[in-house]
Structure 1
Amino acid sequence: MKQQHHFVLVHGVCHGAWCWFHVKHRLESAGHRVTPLNLAGAGTSTKSIYDVHSFREYNEPLLEFMASLEPSEKVILVGHSLGGMSLALIADKFPKKISAAVFLTAVMPDTTHEPSLVLKQ
């Protein structure tokens, strides 16, 4: 039996979970579990983008989702555009819950600073 993976899809700026429609369908057709998320103020998020004042607030849906995973569950993160910074943040905060991170034409932070530095500033 083929191993099933859990993919978490993170959109970029001015997008939402909707932008992963085709990718979601193909991964699910291959038997994988797929969770495309809307970050705060994006897609079908109920929060207005004008009420998002920090990168932490913007990523709150992703932070909450990762915190809700079972301790032994690992996911494959896929981020596009600014979603790459979100991936770096999550990899820094939840390293044991990630089996891989895919930066798809995405922002990659430098290696001099911890990715969570953006939350502190």
Structure 2
Amino acid sequence: MTTGSGEQSPAVAPAAEGARRIILVHGTGHGGWCWYRVATLLRAAGHLVDAPDLAASGADPRPLRDAPTFDDYTRPLLEALAALPEGERVVLVGHSFGGMSIALAAEMFPEKVAVAVFVTAFLPDCSHPRSHVVEQVTVHGCLALIWLALMSSG
């Protein structure tokens, strides 16, 4: 796994007793680097922290077109979870569009996720496909822009 600084993480080892493994997931247009201060504080408290760059983000130089599906975009997170030792459970923290990534990861690896924390993040519901969230943001985002334009013209 790649850290937010672009360095290769060491092999995944089990968390020490009392420590939590925490995976911080960035939003669109960012990379693992955006969690630097939070990761530093969590590590100082004794936790194992990873902040992977999702596909075509952060230090990953690929263009977004090389990650054509959401699963492709989220693959670095999914691979990190797949590599965890059996029985280890992590805390996933997602910000902004990272909420969609941690929701997918929790759905695919429920046995490896202790809790998912959505920090001002997109949160899909249980009755619609993931694309519904993006559709709603687009609709409401356009409505908000129209409302702002109307309010500022008065």
Asked whether the two chains share a fold, i.e. TM above 0.5, the reply is: yes
| Structure with greater helix share of residues | 2
1:36-115, aligned counterparts within 5 Å?
36-113=51-128
Matched residues in 1 for 2:122 and 2:55: separation?
19
**Distance in 2 separating the partners of 1:114 and 1:48:** 25
How many Å separate the matches in 1 of 2:33 and 2:83? 22
User: How many positions carry a matched residue from both structures?
Assistant: 117
1:6-37 residue CA offsets vs partner (Å, 9 max, x unmatched): 10010000000000000000000101100001
Amino acid at match of 1:47: R
**Structure ranking higher on relative contact order (CA contacts 8 Å, 6+ apart):** 1
TM-score, normalising length: structure 1: 0.89
Q: What do residues 22-71 of structure 1 show as CA deviations (whole Å, max 9, x unaligned)?
A: 00000001011000010000001142223221111101111111111112
The runs of at least 4 aligned residues of structure 1 exceeding 6 Å deviation read none
Which residue identity lines up with residue 36 of structure 2 in the other structure?
F
Cα offset, 1:3, TM superposition: 1.4
User: What fraction of aligned residue pairs are identical, expressed as a percent?
Assistant: 46
Q: Find the counterpart in structure 2 of residue 25 from structure 1.
A: 40
User: What TM-score does the superposition give when structure 2 sets the normalisation length?
Assistant: 0.71
The alignment partner of 1:14 has SS state of: coil
Higher normalized strand content (fraction of residues): 1
1:110 and 1:74 map into 2 onto residues whose CA distance is 23
**Residues 57-108 of structure 1, C-alpha deviations (whole Å, 9 max, x = no match):** 1011111111111121110000000000111101110001011110000000
The structure with more radius of gyration: 2
Which amino acid in structure 2 is aligned with residue 112 of structure 1? Answer: S
Note the aligned Cα RMSD (angstroms).
2.0
